[in-house]
A and B are shown apart, each in its own frame.
Chain A
Amino acid sequence: MNHTIEAHSIKLGYGSKVIIPEMDIVIDKPEIISIIGPNGSGKSTLLKALSRIVIPLSGCVLLDGKDIHQLQPQQVAKIMAILPQTVHAPGDMTVYDLVAYGRMPYKKMFEKLDSDDQECMAAALEATGIRQMLHRRLDSLSGGERQRAWLAMALAQEPRLLLLDEPTTYLDIHHQLELMKLVRKLHQDMQITVIMVLHDLNHAARFSQRMIAVKDGLLFADGPVEEVFTVENLRALYGVETTIMTIEQGGSSHLVCFPHDSCLTQRA
């Protein structure tokens, strides 16, 4: 089943501070969608609203046509998995323990993990390539391995929607690329909708089909990568002059941008 998530004129903020005055978004296709925008534009807050972590001040977020805050939290957790930007876990927790949390939405009180859960966890560990690290402690893993363990936890929820907030932040370029390729593979193999906030524009351009650009709390552009990822848009979004070109790589091509100068007049 294809799941849809819609934001209807949502207003977001904390207390009296409004971050997003009004925004409408519809996500109804299993695509990889990147949310881009300058620091403080509200892209993380938008992702948090879509993932029901932040309650809108007004307006509503609908999951399959129903208000996401009215739905049973456990039901939502079976459809949607989220990975926040900064996560912490006790260092003595093992990969097995962490991935087992992904099965929580499926368990009633006192119910133990059964063979279905075990299979599902095995599949999640297989997909992220950390099956052999099952009993390793989290504090013995490298940054890239740890991020994959968290991703495996999210996958154990068997989500149809995967929301990631800057998943590559603490990784070096090698592990950034590995993670992005993993995300693309998950999307292709399981037809999961991926919505992620990305800082790296070139990752966003290469790995996603749709781009949502946010500026000053407003929807600046929303559409296929080729339409959103333009010199004009990047100048208006970031105040940076760029050159955008197409790179051919292993039979496929994607856009990349080279920032070369900031246009101060635009920023002022």
Chain B
Amino acid sequence: MREAAIDPRGTWRTGISIIGLVALGVALFWGIRVGTVPFSAYDIWNVFIAPASNEAYQIIYNIRVPRVLVGALTGINLALAGCILQGVLRNPLADPGIIGVSAGAGLAAMSVMILWPGLMALVPAAAFIGALLSAGIVFLLSWDRGIQPLRLILAGVALAAFFGGGMSALMVFHSDKVQGTVNWMAGGFQGRSWNHVQMILPYSLIGVLGAMLSYRHLNALQLGDEVAKGLGIRVEKARFFLVVLAALLAASAVSVAGLLGFVGLIIPHIARMLVGSDFEYLMPCAAVLGATIVVAADTVARTIFSPVEVPVGIFMAFLGAPFFIYLLRKGMRR
């Protein structure tokens, strides 16, 4: 069948991939360069070629590089988790918050920050465990011979409300200590180090590998459970592993970045507008786009009102939501 070789979407997809990777490269490079102390490309080159313990090396290697890496990996994880959840639950509103991850992480992290302020270093670990625990509760509540998508969404909403109440209670009873938690709740990358890179990197690798292994299952699940079963997919098993994968990705992301909304919900939609809903192309596109946007937004957020740093979550919500609405209206007119 020769016609198949000339898929009209081929050139477009190749073009998008190249543009995406170039944009990511530019965002990473720019994120390392600019800041309170700006550096030239030559300075950065030197750090990697001839490490010396001067000031440039300290700032670039120990502050800027880990920060852009954490940002990029967070973007990848949240975007992939969003893609997977929207596909598996067949719901365009699904994001990592819907399986209880954000609420669980939020409550756990806030408890540590308010009740045991001495243990601040454990906040990422607590957030990770809280996220997984609450995802586990949501799974249990939605279980009926496999995860039932609608029950999962409702259970997730209910649990988020419950844990949200817990967070509000903490804030009311400890209103004097709320100040320290605000930045984390908004999501941001201030002071992220190589430790944080190590924390999130394994999950990003698992996520990328899982996405490569599962894109066909995700594609088939889009056609509905019955068709997917007819094509020989073990639907319940596939759905379970995919939701667990999304939970791990999202939990690792919130543990290092705080409650960074927007990325997991909207990046998959932008990616879908760009390359369509075939997961073979959607997931790489979303991952690259997520990484690029988080790194670029973080760089702007920390330099625009320098020396004051705006948490990137706030910045992204203000810029991203209107941009998304613009895309949506443009898409509708077509």
Contact = CB atoms under 8 A, between A and B. Distances in A.
Main secondary structure of the interface of B (DSSP, over half): loop
Contacts of A83: 227, 230
B43 interface: no
Contacts of A77: 230-232
A87 B230 contact: no
Given A84-B224, A122-B1, A135-B7, A51 B230 contact: yes
Interface string A122-145: 100000000000110000000000
Contacts of B276: 90, 92-93
Contacts of A264: none
Contacts of A101: 219-220, 223, 227, 231
Interface in B203-223: 213, 216, 219-220, 222-223
A53 B233 CA distance: 11
Given A109-B213, A119-B1, A134-B4, A87 B224 contact: yes
Interface in B1-48: 1, 3-4, 7-9
A90 B226 contact: no
A188 interface: no
Contacts of A119: 1
Given A118-B4, A135-B3, A93 B232 contact: no
Interface in A162-206: none
Interface residues of B, number: 25
B277 interface: yes
Interface in B74-123: none
A97 interface: yes
Interface in A88-112: 88-90, 92-94, 96-97, 101-102, 104-105, 107, 109
Contacts of B277: 90, 92-93
A262 interface: no
Given A97-B278, A118-B4, A122-B1, A105 B222 contact: no
Contact of B226 (A75, A82, A122): A82
Nearest to A105: B232
B111 to A, nearest CB: 39
B306 to A, nearest CB: 42
A81 interface: yes
B229 interface: yes
B234 interface: yes
Nearest to B2: A118
A85 B226 CA distance: 10
B278 A93 contact: yes
A73 B228 CA distance: 10
B237 to A, nearest CB: 10
A121 B1 contact: yes
Given A92-B277, A104-B220, A135-B8, A53 B226 contact: yes
A76 interface: yes
B93 to A, nearest CB: 16
Contacts of B7: 96, 135
Nearest to B278: A97
A118 B224 contact: no
Interface string B179-220: 000000000000000000000000000000000010010011
A51 B231 CA distance: 11
A81 B230 contact: yes
Interface string A38-81: 00000000001001110000000000000000001111111011
Nearest to A117: B1
Contact of B223 (A51, A73, A89, A122): A89
Given A93-B277, A135-B3, A135-B7, A157 B231 contact: yes
Contacts of A76: 232
B3 A134 contact: yes
A51 B232 CA distance: 11
Contacts of A93: 276-278
A53 to B, nearest CB: 5
Nearest to A121: B1
A168 B32 CA distance: 61
A187 B1 CA distance: 24
A87 B231 contact: no
A104 B230 CA distance: 10
B275 to A, nearest CB: 9
Contacts of A107: 216
Contacts of A87: 223-224, 226-227
Contacts of B234: 73
Interface in B121-149: none
A84 B276 CA distance: 25
B235 to A, nearest CB: 9
Contacts of A157: 231
A73 B224 CA distance: 16
Contacts of A104: 216, 220, 231-233
A192 B233 CA distance: 23
A14 B225 CA distance: 16
Contacts of B220: 101, 104
Interface of B: 1, 3-4, 7-9, 213, 216, 219-220, 222-227, 229-234, 276-278
Given A92-B276, A109-B216, 16 more contacts: A48-B226, A51-B229, A53-B225, A72-B232, A74-B232, A77-B231, A81-B230, A82-B226, A82-B229, A84-B230, A87-B224, A87-B226, A90-B222, A93-B276, A94-B9, A101-B223
5 cross-chain pairs, A with B, having the tightest CB-CB distances, nearest first: A77-B232, A74-B232, A90-B277, A82-B230, A118-B1
